[in-house]
Structures are given as C-alpha cells and as structure tokens.
Structure 1
Amino acid sequence: MIRLLPLLFALQSLPAAAQTLPELATRALDADPAVRASSASLRAADERLFQARAAYGPTANFTATGSNSHYAEAPGYTRRPIQSEQYVVQVNQPLWRGALYPALQAAGSQREQAESALMQARLEAQQRLAEAVLEVFKARDVLAHAQALREAYGEQLAAARRGFQVGRAAAPEVREAEARVDSAVAQVLAAEAELDLRQQVLAEIANGPTPALLARAVAPEALPALQADGVLDWLSRAESDSPQLRQARLAVEAAEAEVRKASLAHAPTVDLNASYTRSNDNGTVTSIFPRRGNTAAIGATLTIPLFASGATQSKVVENLALRDKAAGELDLARRTLVIGVRQAFVSTLSALSQAKALATAERSQALSVRANQRGFEVGIKTNADVLEAQGKLFEARRDLSRARHDAWASYFKLRALAGQLGDADWEALDAQLVAHQPMPMGRAKDRS
C-alpha cells in the first residue's frame, strides 16, 4: 500500500495530455467483451438477413450417378455387364411462397435489433469506464484527506506530548491524541487499499494500466450543466434514442413477422423447375444396344399443405405467445427506462446541489481555520482547536470532491440511458481536467 505514495508524487511531473479520456474510451471499447460479443451478433444477423433475401432466388443442383451391374438370362445364364452414367442439372425458382416476405421482415428487424444491442453495449461500456475513472479520482481524494488527517493528528499528538512534559496537558489528552493518530493511520491504509482496487478495476476496463490519470483531476469549478425542469426533455430523448427501448420495439416487430410467417405455412406454394439430363449406358436388361441421350424439361410444382397433425396451428399459437411476451418486455423496458432516467436525473441534480452547498461549507470552514489560527496566535485558542477546525475543513473538501464526482457519474449515466453518450462527452470532460494539486495542509505552531 505504501508504494502508492511515491507513485502519486512522481505522477505530478507527467504531462496532462499523456493519457486523454477519449483515448481511454477508444481503448476500452476495443477491448470490451460485451461490445465484441454484440459485434459478432450483428455480423450473424447480417448473414441471416442475406439468407432471407437469398430465399427469393433460384437454387441449382448437380447430380452425377454411375452404376455397374451384371445380368444373366436363361437358359444359358451368360453374364452380361451393364454400365450406365447419368448427369442431371436441376434449377428451382420459387414463384410464390407466402412465408418468404414475413421471414425477410423478421430477419430485417432482428438485424436492426442486433445493431441496437451493439449501441447499447457501447453505451454501457462507456458508462462503466466513466464510473471507474471517477471512482479513481474519488479514492485518490479520500486518500489525500486521510493523509492530511494523519499529519494533523500527528502534530496534535506531538503538541500534547510536549504539553504533558511541561505540565500543561493531562495524560488523557495524550492518550486521546494517540488514539486519533492510530485511527488516522488505519484510514490511510484503508484508503490506499481502496485506491489500489479502483486502479485495478479501471485497468481491467481500460485494457491496461492508467498511471498518468492520477496526475489529472476534474477542475473544482467544473460541473455538468443540467436544468432542474428538464426531466421531460430527457424522457423524450430516451423514448426516441434509447437503443435498449429500440431493441424491445424491434423484438415486437420481429415477433409479429414470425406470427405471419407461421400463419402462411397453410398457404400453397408454386415453384418453377427446370432440369437437363445427360445419360449414357451400354444396354439394359431388355436391350443389348447401347444408348446415349440428353433430356431437357421445364415445369411448375404446386404444393398445397393439407394436414400436418396440428403442428402448423401449434406453431402459430406459439408465435402469438412469443409476440405477447415481446410486447410485455417492451412495456417493462419502457417503465425501467423511465424510472432509470428519473433516478439519474434526480441523482445528478442532488449531487449538483450538494456540490454547491459543500463549496460554501468549504469556504466557511477555511475561514474557521484562519480564525482559529489567529486565535491560537493570540492565545485564546488551543492547538487542538486549530487541528479540529482543520479536520472539518478536510472533511468538507472530501465531501465536496465526492459530490462533484458523483454529479459527473450520474450525468454520464443519464446520457447513457438517453442514448446520448458519445465521443463529444469524453472530449468535454477531458477539457475539464487539470493537473492534480495535493490537498493543502495548514500547520499550527506550538506555543509551548
């Protein structure tokens, strides 16, 4: 855990542009397994659509047959070899198959559904990356807060010990200061472990370590812009642009096409057939004369389904049930999306409000620290009072940092739910990153 400390200071000298957020997003998308799986599903859907179109076209088959037999006829039973060869080329062109068009519609809907699934996978991958980046920033600030507290409590312990030696402090004050230092050390160790974990999570999502990111931080004044009365606009965007909702709509369309396809299995079909046959033999069982000839034929085949033991109607009922299932999933997806957008919107607004309130609290605590330091200099405040004020200032800064990062995380989630998250968001957030500044630590001088 301690190895993180020199790393944090060493990274301050790295250039801020060494690892931009758009680069991390591109790298994460290229390596995300869900995105790769969705991309493969889209390629498969493309081939299914091609197959549905190909069903309208002709099919051709070539058949070659050869035989070698022997024939013996009474009364002499003299064996006579018979050899024959036949080559057939057959072409079949569908003229009317009612199920082909619904099958093509279903394949088209499934292809668009796979495309929406890929968009959804990309949005979720970007959202995971945004959360991981912001969690690293939060963990780093928590560590800085814990280190500042440890330093402050260490000074308080030193002052208490000096006061105890000259008789100005009691033993319980020293024990209390020691307990605070031990607690601060434990907080530092926990914060180091949390930062290490968050970096590992980010490295897994970004397909590699991101050490230069620790040298950057979101600018203190940078907050996402969000109108308090704009939730209806976000719901409208989500209704029209959300790939998750679009997938559910397309699933209903595909299910309806499958119902029509199953229903048309009752309908007759008409196919155009053409064949060309070339045969060659040295005789038959009734003739000793060799034959050689060619045969060309063209015709139409009408097929009328009469009875399938109820399987066709059962298939229709099955697809009707699947259509109802898809319709229910569409309603569920719409409800889930509306709830998610509202929650993300409220979370973003809440974090923004907290950030603004905590910014005011942080300024007030900074004034309190300066007032306690002046009181300490004139003898009306003790060292413990100054350090307590410093501790509250560090807590206010920690909470302010958490609120700002939570606001960005909720905002990115909101844009992902609405189908709006993209490269422009990463460029905008990257433009708000500045060089990370260590948390300042005011020190109180001992008057003993």
Structure 2
Amino acid sequence: MLIRLLPLLLFALPAAAQTLPELAARALDADPAVRASDASLRAAEQRLFQARAAYGPTANFTATASNNHYREAPAYEPRPFKSEQYVVQVNQPLWRGALYPALQAANSQLEQAESALQQARLEAQQRLAEAVLEVFKARDVLAHATALREAYAEQLAAARRSFQVGRAAAPEVREAEARVDSGLAQVLAAEADLDMRRQVLAEVAAGPTPTLLTRAVAPEALPPLQADGVLDWLARAEVDSPQLRQARLALEAAEAEIRKASLAHAPTVDLNASYTRSNDTGTVTSIFPRRGNTTAVGATLTIPLFASGATQSKVVETMALRDKAAGELDLARRTLVIGVRQAFVATLSALSQARALATAERSQALSVRANQRGYEVGIKTNADVLEAQGKLFEARRDLSRARHDAWASYFKLRALAGQLNEADWQALDAQLVEHRPDEIGRARARSAS
C-alpha cells in the first residue's frame, strides 16, 4: 500500500523550486562537483593567507627546567642543583627572494580555484538543462507514439469492417494488426525512456519536480541565435571561458614556481630578537645560585652554498611543469574553439531543422487527410493511410526533437562561452506553457477530419 501511495506523496510535496531559475539554484546547491570545487576554493584562500603570513614575524616561547645531581672526585658526594630558563624569540624576515614568487603562485592558484568553481557551476547548469529538455523530449515521443497507436487501432477497426463487407483483403487486416503491435511496442519503449529520463532529472535536480513536469516548451519557442555570429561567440569564449582561464592561471602559477625555485640560490636576511630569563641553584663549576635576564637583537645572513644539486633539479622540474602547463593551455584553447564551433553549428542546424520540420509536419497532416478521404472513396488503401500517419508521427517526433535539441545546444554554447547565467533560465522559463497531453490527440483528430 505504501508503495502505491509513494508517487502521490511525492507529488503532494510542496512545489518549491519548480521555476527553472529556482530549480537551477537548488541543483547547484546539491551538486557534488560544485561542492568539491567550493571546498578547493576555500583551501586555496588559506594557501594565499599562508603565503602572505610568510612576510610577517614569527614568535616562539621556550621553557626549560632541569634537575641535576653532580658527584665530584675523590669523595663523590652528591651535589644537587636545579636550573630554569625561559626564552622568547621573535624572527622577522628582511629579505627572502622566494616569498614574492610564492605569493604570486598562491594568488594564481586562488583565481584558478575560482574559475574551477565557475566551471563546475556551468557544467551543473548544463546537465540540468539537458535533463529537463530530455524529459520534455521523451514526453513528446510518448505522446506521439500513443497517438499513433490509437490511429493504428482505428485503422485496424476500419480494415476489419471493410474486410467484413468485402472492400478489403485479409492481408490488409493482418498488416494493420502488425502496425498496432508495432505501435504498442513503441509506446512501451517510450514509457520506459520517459521513466528513466525522469529519474535522471530527479537526481540532477536534487529531488522530484512534479510542477515542472506539468509544463512544456512552447511549440513556437526557439533560442535566439544569429547565423553569422560564430566569431563573436569565439571572442566571448576567449575572454570569459572559465576552462581557458584556468589553463592561463595554471601557466602563471608554473612560471612563478620557476622563479621561486631559482631564488633558492639567493641569500636570506632575517632580523632576530630574543629575551631570556634564567634561574639556577648552581652549576657543575659553581655552588652559588644565579638569576639573570638576557636581551639580544641581531641579524642572520644565510648564504646557500651547496645542496647536492637539489636546487638546480627543482628548477629543471618546475621548468618542465611550465612547459606542461603551456601545452595544456594550447590544448584547452583548441578544445574550446572546437567545442564552441560544434555547439554553434548544432544549435543552428537544430533551428533550421525545426523550421523545416514545422512546414513538413503541416504538409504531412494534409497528406493524412487526403489519404483518409481517398480511402473513404476507395482510391486509397488502408496501408496508404497507415503509412501517411506513420510519416506524420515521425515528422512530429523529429520536430519535437529538433526544438529541444536547439535549446540544449544553445545552453551548451552559452556554458562553453562562460555566458550561462540566471537570465538564460529566466528566458527559457518564460517560454514554458502548460503541458496538455490531449493536444496531440486533438491534432490527430483534426487531421483525420
């Protein structure tokens, strides 16, 4: 009983975050890749803080207490004494050449982490857009398959009536029965695909979306895209793509690491200050107690002389990593250019297909009506009507696919260029209308009239 009520309970939940902008915000909050990138950003912020803190002073407090027992020849009589010492040391770097490159590298890594977070957010939004549009597409496929199955069932009934009165042959009836079975198989496949798409959407959207599933993209709604704007998209991607920005920042960080490794040869100068307070009841050479304070201020010059080749090896290593980052930057740029061009062409192609298929759908609807009229007067067979209705279903299915593919490719293009934001979700949400499952059936009835 509980299993039967579970779907009703899910749809009875509060319809929160059902507009596309709110749904996108909910999906971003729950996306594991976004959370991981956000954690990496927080870690990078702390690394930058540590690099800045290296310029500041360090202070240490040391306390030492000892209890000694001394025996001196020839009597070896025990002579105990105690000592205590408290030291406060302060060290301020005056010159360490490697600190500034380390700060530059940490700053580049922070910006790189910010770009990685933006990239993760864009990819999460793209996944959500694809999941939403795939559900809409699968729902239309199911509706068209259902309408086609009903049309096949009506034609089967008509073929049987014609066979009974001698106007149709037995093979026509058998063919109509086969079409009904084929239509049923298509409906079952479409139902399974729609169920899987809904599960994917619920996973990506971090919960059920009952209100969203009652809406659909308006048939006339198509994404705005200029046919001659691919160069503009490439220019935007060159500037705003977080993926390309990450590669640039990785190269900057690698160059800073080279400077940091090279400056390991340079001398360093530190300012030192210490305050020592000592107290003892004697020493090995004295039986008199002592108490005193010592203050010292000085500078320490350290000149690296030899490190068994480790410093030079580190320089060579960082140079190799710099070359690797440069190659990855070129690869990222080439991948981005190819991706933007492919997404632009895919969007443009889907738009062209949608406009052409809209005309084809209207023409095919007229063809169905003409075949039905011809069947009524005896100049067309039942197979001709079934074939025309099958082509009408294919045209409507392909039209729905082209429209949704156009939006999916457009969102992908916006994500690659680093342009996808809440305004895009608001624009798509404004194109959503109430989903009416019976519209396809009424359209089929109009085509049959």
Deviation of 1:131 (Å):
0.5
Q: Which moved more, 1:375-384 or 1:355-364?
A: 375-384
Q: Call closer, same or farther: CA 1:202–1:444 in 2, change over 3 Å.
A: closer
CA distance in 1, matches of 2:47, 2:28: 26
Matches within 5 A, 1:82-121: 82-121=81-120
**1:304 corresponds to which residue?**
303
Deviation of 1:357 (Å):
0.3
Structure 2 gaps of 5+ residues are none
Deviations 1:81-137 (A, max 9, x none): 111111000000000000000000000000000000000000000001000100001
CA distance in 1, matches of 2:74, 2:345: 104
**2:153 corresponds to which residue?**
154
2:44 aligned partner, one-letter code: A
Does the CA-based 8 Å contact 1:282-1:291 persist in structure 2? yes
**2:267 corresponds to which residue?**
268
Matches within 5 A, 1:232-381: 232-381=231-380
Structure 1 gaps of 5+ residues are none
Does the CA-based 8 Å contact 1:373-1:444 persist in structure 2? no
**1:65 corresponds to which residue?**
64
CA distance in 1, matches of 2:187, 2:358: 24
CA distance in 1, matches of 2:25, 2:197: 20
Work out whether 1:440 is the aligned partner of 2:444.
Answer: no
CA distance in 2, matches of 1:166, 1:407: 50
Does the CA-based 8 Å contact 2:216-2:433 persist in structure 1? yes
SS at match of 2:211: helix
CA distance in 2, matches of 1:36, 1:185: 44
2:66 aligned partner, one-letter code: S
Deviation of 1:72 (Å):
1.6
1:77 aligned partner, one-letter code: Y
Q: Which moved more, 1:69-78 or 1:282-291?
A: 69-78
The alignment yields a C-alpha RMSD, in angstroms, of 2.3
CA distance in 2, matches of 1:125, 1:96: 46
CA distance in 2, matches of 1:377, 1:82: 124
CA distance in 1, matches of 2:102, 2:423: 39
Deviation of 1:314 (Å):
0.4
Q: Which moved more, 1:415-424 or 1:74-83?
A: 74-83
Does the CA-based 8 Å contact 1:387-1:444 persist in structure 2? no
SS at match of 1:193: helix
Deviations 1:27-84 (A, max 9, x none): 1100111000000000000000000000000000000101011112233322111111
1:312 aligned partner, one-letter code: T
Deviation of 1:285 (Å):
1.3
Matches within 5 A, 1:218-237: 218-237=217-236
**1:123 corresponds to which residue?**
122
Deviation of 1:155 (Å):
1.2
Q: Which moved more, 1:159-168 or 1:93-102?
A: 159-168
CA distance in 1, matches of 2:394, 2:22: 33
Work out whether 1:185 is the aligned partner of 2:170.
Answer: no
SS at match of 1:440: helix
SS at match of 1:211: coil
CA distance in 1, matches of 2:431, 2:117: 29
Q: Call closer, same or farther: CA 1:306–1:235 in 2, change over 3 Å.
A: same
Deviations 1:356-414 (A, max 9, x none): 00011111122223333444455544555444333322221111110000000000000
Q: Call closer, same or farther: CA 1:445–1:255 in 2, change over 3 Å.
A: closer
1:440 aligned partner, one-letter code: G
Q: Which moved more, 1:14-23 or 1:255-264?
A: 14-23
Work out whether 1:211 is the aligned partner of 2:173.
Answer: no
SS at match of 1:168: coil
CA distance in 2, matches of 1:18, 1:91: 56
SS at match of 1:420: coil
2:97 aligned partner, one-letter code: G
1:248 aligned partner, one-letter code: A
Deviations 1:209-239 (A, max 9, x none): 1122221111111101111111000000000
Q: Call closer, same or farther: CA 1:17–1:312 in 2, change over 3 Å.
A: closer
Does the CA-based 8 Å contact 2:172-2:383 persist in structure 1? no
2:157 aligned partner, one-letter code: A
2:275 aligned partner, one-letter code: Y
SS at match of 2:207: coil
Q: Which moved more, 1:154-163 or 1:104-113?
A: 154-163
1:158 aligned partner, one-letter code: A
CA distance in 1, matches of 2:163, 2:95: 102
1:358 aligned partner, one-letter code: L
Deviation of 1:145 (Å):
1.1
Deviation of 1:195 (Å):
0.4
**1:34 corresponds to which residue?**
33
SS at match of 2:83: strand
Question: What is the count of residue pairs matched by the alignment?
Answer: 439
CA distance in 2, matches of 1:266, 1:32: 46
Does the CA-based 8 Å contact 2:97-2:260 persist in structure 1? yes
Q: Percent identity?
A: 87
SS at match of 2:319: helix
2:441 aligned partner, one-letter code: P
Deviations 1:128-150 (A, max 9, x none): 10001000011001111111111
1:193 aligned partner, one-letter code: A
SS at match of 1:163: helix
Q: Call closer, same or farther: CA 1:217–1:159 in 2, change over 3 Å.
A: same
Deviation of 1:164 (Å):
2.4
2:72 aligned partner, one-letter code: E
Deviation of 1:260 (Å):
0.2
1:111 aligned partner, one-letter code: L
CA distance in 1, matches of 2:290, 2:182: 105
With structure 2 as the length reference, what TM-score do the two structures score? 0.93
Q: Which moved more, 1:420-429 or 1:387-396?
A: 387-396
CA distance in 2, matches of 1:74, 1:18: 90
Deviations 1:261-318 (A, max 9, x none): 0000000000000000011111111111111111000100000000001000000000
1:405 aligned partner, one-letter code: H
Q: Which moved more, 1:372-381 or 1:321-330?
A: 372-381
SS at match of 2:296: strand
SS at match of 1:295: strand
1:124 aligned partner, one-letter code: E
